[in-house]
Structure 1
Amino acid sequence: MKPASADYSWWGRPAGGREVAVVAAPLVISSLSWTVMTFVDRVMLSHVSGPAMTGAFSASTVWFLLVCFPLGLCTYANTFVSQYFGAGRLERIGPAAWQAVWLALATGPLYLLAIPAANALFTAVGHSPEVVASEVPYFQVLCVGAPAMLIAQAAASFFSGRGKTRVVMYTDAGFAGLNVVLDYAWIFGHWGFPEWGVVGAGWATVVSLWLKAACYVLLLLTRHNRERFGTLRGMRVEWPLLGRLLWFGTPSGLQMLLDMAGFTAFILLVGKIGPAEAEATSVAFSVSSVAFMPVWGLSLAVGILVGQRLGEDRDDLAGRATLTSLVLGLGYMSIISLLYLFTPGLFLAGFGGPSDSPESTSRLAAVLLRFVAAYNLLDATAMVFAAAIKGAGDTGFVLRVSVVLATLLIALSWLSVEVWQLGVYGSWSLITVWVWIVAIAYVLRYQQGAWRRMRVIEPPPPDLVMATE
């Protein structure tokens, strides 16, 4: 019988609204801090010039594309940490986080090799010379910060995988705030900083990322964490565990890479339609991050909660946490989509500078936000269910879906711009339908239920099994 004092409402029951909110809310705020940072960054650059804002957006998109694979791989340590935590195997949590840090250290420096190729890369895309002049230096500076971003995400998995998401929230929000302050100083030349425009925006991001990475590593090595979770003695490379992280995390990283490749191809190709279309697309996607990133934070919580509950062998509660998160995500997306439809000026007011044509750009961006509103709910659905099956270890399916659908998005983007010449509205219609298809694929896979039997961690040693029986 259920205890009379227990709360079994939707909010209070295990894996209900309260439990999801406790884990998810700090991650949502953390994701929003990154969104606010990039949003403010682009608003500031729009007051430098339209090409500066457009160039920074497309350059950061290409940079993030290159970082996606190791980022997805390092972030997948969340699943290992959460399943170890759910299984009560605390001594394995420190080593799991450190394997991701070693992967970050191994792959991060490779992005310095992309710096000399930046000019040829962005010139080949076919953007205007004014936009390329902003894309190249911004991209080159961001490459210096790529290793720091990977280290920070790897070390953060130690906290987020255990549900200690407030640590992630405070750290990410704090350094995002620092980034905004440095943006203002370095873009416009205040407080003794040089007036470096788009280059200053890049260095503001890089400095903030490296300081954040250092902070996470120091937190990982505090005395409490060393004694309870083995964060010092588990610092060595542990090849079997590293191999498991590579086995399950590689498809997750490739999925991020492929999805971002399709998205990047869409942005770069639409940018060839014309400068007004390129700028409006940059503005619309910048605004759409207000909808996307909080649900992205919610999806991180889904993966953590599913991992913890599967570590406890409670797939019923893992499923409940997923559906609870879906309700929260759809509720938020419904509100933000209505705002996009009826009050787009609320989001577009800050864009534009004296040398631009902000009124025409805002009108076009307002129309593009209607497309965002048309796919927001299904985008949230896709993120939640994809996170659930990844949290279990079903990364092979995620990779297969991404191979097919990312290829489809790239092909459709190219056809719509280069062959069919559908214009900006036709191209945005295609990406809307594409999001719907992605959502349907993940819903069907989740309903099949194969994820309920999956685990990424190794079985416990026999002596531990006997001790718990």
Structure 2
Amino acid sequence: MPSSLWNQPFGYRDVLKISMPLAVSMASTTIMQVTDRIFLGRYSVEAIAAALPAGIMAFLFISFFMGVASYINVFIAQYTGAARPDKVAVSLWQGLYFSLGGWVVLASLAYALTPVLKSGGHPPEVLELEIQYFRILMLGAGLPLLDTTLSGFYSGRGLTRTVMIVNMIGAAVNIPLDYALIYGIGIFPEMGIRGAGIATVTSWSLIVLIYLPLIFSKANEATYKTRSQWRFDWEFSVRFIKFGLSNGLQFFLDIFAVTFFVYMVGRLGTIVLAASNIALSIDGVSFFPAYGLAVGVSTLVGQAVGQGRPDYARRATKCAFHIACIWMLLMGCMYMLIPDTLISLFRPHELNNAQFSEVLQHGRVYLLFMAAYILFDGLALVYSGALKGAGDVVFIMKSVGLFCVVLMVIPCYLGVEVFGWDDHFLWSIFTAYVLVLSLIFYFRFRSGRWEKMKVI
């Protein structure tokens, strides 16, 4: 890499300093999810078939509120760049109020949305497990919202190492607890998929409990007034909601596209659904660290915009994309070179060799699709993160909304329900969706329209 880009402000070194802890943090979250699905996959084929649809369905509704809450990171980043520490705690508290309100809404949907799960048409034994898992996650859904807001206090200021350590502690507790509650080890009862849900909520709770004394310490009160700036700020909240709603809606639509894809795949049978769930779980290993990089880019762009330096923002985005390419290429090579090894990690113990051979046969093809779109996934993540950091969230929301319907929902529905096409068609549609959005975000950033935007 050129030495000038390494040493300059907002170059490779700054991108790595801020983004790497976030990538590691996301990687720990991914490891938590992957081990959860490995344990469930080895527990029963019904459990692994139920885990991803129910998990994505829960995350679909959580994602809207999480997307809104996550935009606190951009406000804090821009206030930090503009040297306005007095506004950091104000931003934090408004995000906390929103997160608590979102928790009430999400918990109330835990039982009300059961008919949505039933509409998926999945086998009865899978549906029963989906409902159990979904309800547990929804009742604890406010915890990741609080986590998102609280972590923004650090990530928005570029202090991402704290976020990494806290998330690693959460993962370190979740993994053994997950195993114990799923299988029934020692004093813990065997709870199957319910145990996986309880372990996840427990780790969410621990993360929030660690953040609270750190953020509301005497030192942060002296610098940012984190305790005394608790009052509701109507003017700030209106501005926060204006930008945050677009971000939340975009996040919701993106997750909805994936959720709809999974449910359409589910209509093709349990084996195909299990193979797709395994492939998407593996895909998370590449996606979530790259998403951490995108959050880091959003922070750097926000700080650059706050300083009035769009050239810094362009430099940070360019460097981040180069780093994302290295990571994505590495993962793409693994998908092509060792697909059977990766898929076998999730093998349900009751599947005989003939049944698992079918899962492998489908899974190998899905990993090839993933290898085909993986660089475009990195492109989409980095450049959408950069646009969000500048405040260009309405464009992102409109783009995702349009192509979610035009490229995902309508073709997937017609392909399965009307024309009876197979899983390869669905995965082709998924690949096209990633490719189109990545190019749109890239050319939008290149246009420079975001340089005239500011959220503060």
Q: Report what 1:367 is aligned to.
A: 365
Alignment partner of 1:234: what SS? Answer: coil
Residue 419 of structure 1, CA deviation: 1.6
Measured against aligned partners, the alpha-carbon deviations of 1:347-383 in whole angstroms (never above 9, x if no partner) come to 2231113312333212311210000111110111011
Mapped to 1, the partners of 2:340 and 2:16 lie a distance apart of: 30
Measured against aligned partners, the alpha-carbon deviations of 1:295-318 in whole angstroms (never above 9, x if no partner) come to 100000000000011111111011
Matched, 1:441 2:436: no
1:14 to 9, 19, 29: 9
1:219 to 186, 191, 214: 214
Q: Report what 1:328 is aligned to.
A: 323
Mapped to 2, the partners of 1:395 and 1:278 lie a distance apart of: 33
Measured against aligned partners, the alpha-carbon deviations of 1:86-106 in whole angstroms (never above 9, x if no partner) come to 111111111111111110001
Matched, 1:62 2:92: no
Alignment of structure 1 residues 40-439 onto 2, 5 Å: 40-356=35-351, 357-408=355-406, 409-439=408-438
Residue 280 of structure 1, CA deviation: 0.4
List structure 1 runs of 4+ shifted beyond 6 angstroms: none
Mapped to 1, the partners of 2:411 and 2:174 lie a distance apart of: 36
Alignment: residue pair count: 451
Is the Cα contact below 8 Å between 1:44 and 1:184 reproduced in 2?
A: yes
Cα RMSD of the aligned pairs, angstroms, is 1.2
For structure 1, the residue ranges without an aligned partner over 5 or more in a row are 1-6, 458-469
Alignment partner of 1:9: what SS? Answer: helix
Measured against aligned partners, the alpha-carbon deviations of 1:308-339 in whole angstroms (never above 9, x if no partner) come to 11111111011100000000001111111111
Mapped to 1, the partners of 2:294 and 2:95 lie a distance apart of: 20
Residue 196 of structure 1, CA deviation: 0.3
Measured against aligned partners, the alpha-carbon deviations of 1:148-191 in whole angstroms (never above 9, x if no partner) come to 11011111100000010000000011101211111011001112
Residue 8 of structure 1, CA deviation: 5.3
Tell me which amino acid in the other structure corresponds to 1:222: S
Measured against aligned partners, the alpha-carbon deviations of 1:437-456 in whole angstroms (never above 9, x if no partner) come to 11111112111101112111
Mapped to 2, the partners of 1:427 and 1:353 lie a distance apart of: 24
Alignment partner of 1:353: what SS? Answer: coil
Tell me which amino acid in the other structure corresponds to 1:215: I
Residue 121 of structure 1, CA deviation: 2.3
Mapped to 1, the partners of 2:211 and 2:372 lie a distance apart of: 38
Tell me which amino acid in the other structure corresponds to 2:381: M
TM-score relative to the length of structure 1: 0.94
Is the Cα contact below 8 Å between 1:299 and 1:384 reproduced in 2?
A: yes
Tell me which amino acid in the other structure corresponds to 1:185: A
Residue 118 of structure 1, CA deviation: 4.5
Is the Cα contact below 8 Å between 1:351 and 1:358 reproduced in 2?
A: no
Measured against aligned partners, the alpha-carbon deviations of 1:13-54 in whole angstroms (never above 9, x if no partner) come to 211111100001100001001110010000000111111011
Mapped to 2, the partners of 1:8 and 1:82 lie a distance apart of: 26
Mapped to 1, the partners of 2:220 and 2:128 lie a distance apart of: 46
TM-score relative to the length of structure 2: 0.97
Tell me which amino acid in the other structure corresponds to 2:402: V
Larger mean CA deviation between 210-219 and 418-427 belongs to 210-219
Is the Cα contact below 8 Å between 2:132 and 2:194 reproduced in 1?
A: yes
Alignment partner of 2:119: what SS? Answer: helix
Q: Report what 1:464 is aligned to.
A: none
Is the Cα contact below 8 Å between 1:270 and 1:277 reproduced in 2?
A: yes
Is the Cα contact below 8 Å between 1:98 and 1:155 reproduced in 2?
A: no
Tell me which amino acid in the other structure corresponds to 1:43: I
Mapped to 2, the partners of 1:372 and 1:428 lie a distance apart of: 9
